[in-house]
Amino acid sequence: MDLVIVAYQNTWPKDFAVLAARIQKTLGGLALRIDHIGSTAVPGLVSKDRIDVQVTVATPQVLDAAADTLAAAGFAARPAITSDHVPAGSDESPERWVKRFLTAPPDERAANIHLRTADFPNQRYALLFRDYLCAHPQSAAAYGELKRRLAANLADLRTDAEVKDPACDLIAVAAESWAARRGWQPGASDGTIGSSEAAA
């Protein structure tokens, strides 16, 4: 599959909101939060035209139940993907980077659905990475330039993540320092769960 990078689209937040509402209706209480992550969640950042959604569940044991429920609703399971890249130098066990991964049906708006466990490092990483890039437009622009060059020089989508992961690790190091200085914590869920969380 070719790697195609496009300019930021103002429709991406709305596309996420529609998808998040569908996921919330499908999963009900299995989802603790639903968040817009990845490059389409960063205003102004170039990206593949594919919405990344993170669904947070309570425990690793809930991952399969949530994935099965989404698959029954038409989302396409990708059982070969069971974990995230572990950043170089991380002292976290690889078991703490587990996830389940699905995509939107082929005839629907392109999207990746990442199911991760609350308070696991990969769940936090996705939110911190997004928030750091939103707060640092110059870093986001540099990351966007990397994405453009990878798209121009890589043969296909399969190798994109392998090359990009070390660069993301560098951004994550800066993001962790920023988070420590600011006392950063994830905000409310981006999805429809946010109002119920605030009321709890």
Distance (Å, whole) CA 167 – CA 136: 16
Percent of the chain with pLDDT strictly greater than 70: 92
In a domain, 200, yes or no: no
pLDDT in tens, 113-145: 999 999 999 999 999 999 999 999 999 999 999
In a domain, 136, yes or no: yes
In a domain, 107, yes or no: yes
- For residue 19, the SS3 value is helix
In a domain, 61, yes or no: yes
The CATH number of the domain where 39 resides is what? 3.30.460.10
Contact predicate 137/152, CB 8 Å: no
Please count the structural domains in the chain: 1
In a domain, 199, yes or no: no
In a domain, 148, yes or no: yes
pLDDT in tens, 65-84: 999 999 999 999 999 999 99
Residue 73 dihedral angles phi and psi, to the nearest 5°: -90, 5
Show the DSSP H helices in 46-136 as ranges.
Answer: 60-72, 121-135
Q: Is the pTM of this model over 0.95?
A: no
In a domain, 7, yes or no: no
Query: Which structural domain range is residue 68 located in?
Result: 12-190
- For residue 57, the SS3 value is strand
